[in-house]
Amino acid sequence: MSGCVPKAAAADPWRSHVTRIRSITDEITGVKTYELEFADEAVGRDYRFAAGQFNMLYLPGIGEAAISVSSDPASRGAVAHTVRAVGNVTDALARCRVGDEVLVRGPFGTPWPLDRVAGCDVVIVGGGLGLASQRAAIRSLAHGVGSARQVTVLHGAKTPAGLLYRDEYPAWRAAGIDVRTVVDAADDDWTGAVGLVTDLLAEVPLDPDATMILCCGPDPMMVGIAEAAVRRGVPAARVFLSLERNMACAVAHCGLCQFGPLFICRDGPVLGYDALAGLLAVAHL
């Protein structure tokens, strides 16, 4: 079985919808979550996305940026994105205030395969801001979507101050999710694990016949996680990675996100490791 997941394309990929910033939450240094409320109530009521998909956020006169949706897929009327200010569009977004308008186009891309997790042990591995693309999946799994047997979240950051969504961990744990964190470097108050997220994975029992890995973060981290899981018997087709590449058009026309024969905006961002292993082994691809 291929590790690629079905596409869930936007109804009209060229149409942007007006939203207004309803709230802004400071997450970690340089990272904020923007809750965007659709100006047209009917659009907000009908808008649907699947965990792992992304939207194109457009600021007139500045440009567009592809940003993963980080809100609960079950929510209606608004959509959230967790954003780090690292470029022209995201820097401008960081200067926006509650009530400002943002145009939204999407959703685009392949989602996390939550329709395949029934009876499985799902291990979600997020490195740094990669957890933002997985928050929607975590919230869905916390609601029982997919009927997974067990859900484990492994999150790594450079320092404790870089761990995302720490205020939500108690709710995730209350829903039966095993949440484990690790940092590269501890501070004086840190009493948790120090090391790499791959160290956390080594401590998690993996049933090769019933484990699914959902991973997002820097490429070297994802390759390390995927290879460690495969060495322990998890089929590459059940190890899913979400690739972070520059995406400008979201419809595979501009070629900016081409990755070998793939276009990440169309064929990804979520893809099986069986489809990616050879490509990720090519330096600078």
What confidence score (pLDDT) does residue 1 get? 38
Q: Are residues 255 and 169 both part of a single domain?
A: yes
- Is residue 61 domain-resident? yes
- Is residue 10 domain-resident? no
End of a domain among 81, 107, 133? 107
Total domain count, the chain: 2
End of a domain among 91, 107, 123? 107
Q: Are residues 262 and 142 both part of a single domain?
A: yes
- Is residue 164 domain-resident? yes
Q: What is the mean pLDDT of each run of 10 residues along the chain (285 residues)?
A: 45 86 97 97 93 96 96 95 96 97 96 97 97 97 96 98 97 98 96 96 96 96 98 98 89 92 95 95 84
Is residue 268 a contact partner of residue 242, using CB atoms and an 8 Å limit? yes
Q: Are residues 76 and 135 both part of a single domain?
A: no
Q: Are residues 247 and 125 both part of a single domain?
A: yes
Q: How many CB atoms lie within 10 A of CB 97?
A: 7
Q: Give the Cα separation of 136 and 156 in Å (integer).
A: 18
Q: Are residues 83 and 212 both part of a single domain?
A: no
Q: Are residues 158 and 224 both part of a single domain?
A: yes
- Is residue 24 domain-resident? yes
- Is residue 133 domain-resident? yes
Q: Are residues 168 and 262 both part of a single domain?
A: yes
Q: Are residues 215 and 164 both part of a single domain?
A: yes
- Is residue 118 domain-resident? yes
End of a domain among 79, 107, 135? 107
Q: Which residues contact 205 (CB under 8 A, 6 or more apart)?
A: none
- Is residue 140 domain-resident? yes
What confidence score (pLDDT) does residue 11 get? 59
Can you give the residue range of the structural domain that contains 177?
114-280
- DSSP string of 138-176, one letter each residue: HHHHHTTTT--SEEEEEEEESSGGG-TTGGGHHHHHHTT
What CATH code is carried by the domain that includes residue 178? 3.40.50.80
- DSSP string of the chain, one letter each residue: --S-------SSTT--EEEEEEEEEEEETTEEEEEEEESSHHHHHH----TT-EEEEEETTTEEEEEEB-S-TT--SEEEEEEE--SHHHHHHHT--TT-EEEEEEEESBPP-GGG-TT-EEEEEEEGGGGGGTHHHHHHHHTTTT--SEEEEEEEESSGGG-TTGGGHHHHHHTT-EEEEEESS--TT--SEES-HHHHHHTS---TTSEEEEEES-HHHHHHHHHHHHHTT--GGGEEEE-----SSSSSSS-TTEETTEEHHHH-BEEEHHHHHHHHTSTT-
Q: Are residues 72 and 125 both part of a single domain?
A: no
Q: Are residues 225 and 264 both part of a single domain?
A: yes
What confidence score (pLDDT) does residue 118 get? 97
What CATH code is carried by the domain that includes residue 39? 2.40.30.10
Q: Are residues 97 and 118 both part of a single domain?
A: no
Q: Are residues 29 and 118 both part of a single domain?
A: no
- Is residue 204 domain-resident? yes
What confidence score (pLDDT) does residue 130 get? 96
Q: Give the Cα separation of 58 and 133 in Å (integer).
A: 19
